[in-house]
Amino acid sequence: MAETTQQGSGNVADRNLALELVRVTEAAAIAGGHWVGAGDKNSADGAAVDAMRSFLSTVDFNGTVVIGEGEKDEAPMLFNGEQVGSGAGPASDVAVDPIDGTRLTALGMNNALAVIAVADGGSMFDPSAVFYMDKLVVGPEAADMVDLRLPVKQNIHLVAKAKGVKPNQVTVCVLDRPRHQKLVDEIRATGARTRMILDGDVAGAIAACREGTGVDIMMGIGGTPEGIVTACAVKATGGVIQGRLAPTDEAERQKAEDAGLDVDRILTTDELVTSDNCFFAATGITDGDLLRGVRYRGRTITTQSIVMRSRSGTVRMVEAEHLAKKWEKYERLHG
């Protein structure tokens, strides 16, 4: 199943790395999945972090976490600057989210994922100045047509034209936030449909690039780190993500300007991640548009994952069955 290892290219080139990363997200999903519906997002995240960190230590690469998780909601975290992997090979940027959708996991709602992305060292955009970004994500059919600077109506009509459908057959994924009310009104005014999601815009964005998900576009303001993770994934699909930094106040705007960033600039997929050799892996924790969630079935645990490599344009769906007794240390213990 794994492809031959490419040697001596001086970058993150081992094709087998993609399948090793799936093992990492499977572990995080299995550990975090025990907390689905338990109402405790920090414990869920803590379990997923522990499992992800443990499995990352077995992967043969030289990674530095440049996009960690947990700072926003004071959860456990794989911290920025943490060294992961065995240390072998050239330097790699790593973006992790052991649970993209901790609240979704805690509430037992759809679209929670365990996620990791890896690219050549120094190639991921630094999101530290501004945490939020206005995003537009579409699949390959409309990749060369849309523009975040255009009116919402025009982008929807362009996607409809590219896909050979009517605007009222287009579905737009949007985070359910008060800040998006105007956006939602504009989408619905075109006749297009909205698919509102509580959290987890990485899943929504990738769904917009994949056939058969029922999602055609992802729009709206979400996390900048999630946008960079998404960029690693969409490179393998031929889709695009466009982003524009969205400071929440003047202090954050000034911070961005002090860092030399133009908050009005449209950031392209290749600016969010400059490398053409990106790896992305995700495993479903709860059911969603993109993946099926973890299933615990007595002696076995089943997972569904997606793994992508941008250089080859390869997207794999991975169905796995795990012997439950091998994962007992990650089970949630009741008092």
Annotated binding-site ranges for substrate: 100-102, 132, 177-179, 199-201, 223
3-state SS assignment for residue 193? strand
Cβ atoms of 279 and 12 closer than 8 Å: yes
- Distance (Å, rounded) from C-alpha 94 to C-alpha 67? 7
Sequence ranges of the binding site for Mn(2+): 45, 69, 97, 100, 226
Sequence ranges of the binding site: 45, 69, 97, 100-102, 132, 177-179, 199-201, 223, 226
Cβ atoms of 143 and 238 closer than 8 Å: yes
- Distance (Å, rounded) from C-alpha 266 to C-alpha 165? 27
The neighbouring-strand residues paired with 220 are 135
**Residues 189/194/200/201 CA torsion (nearest 10 deg):** -50
Give the type of residue at 68. Answer: G
Give the type of residue at 162. Answer: A
- Distance (Å, rounded) from C-alpha 325 to C-alpha 320? 15
The neighbouring-strand residues paired with 255 are none
Cβ atoms of 262 and 251 closer than 8 Å: no
3-state SS assignment for residue 166? coil
- Distance (Å, rounded) from C-alpha 111 to C-alpha 113? 6
- State the alpha helices, DSSP H only, in the chain: 17-33, 41-56, 102-107, 152-163, 181-189, 201-208, 224-237, 250-258, 269-272
As separate numbers, helices (DSSP H) first and strands (DSSP E) second, the chain gives 9, 13
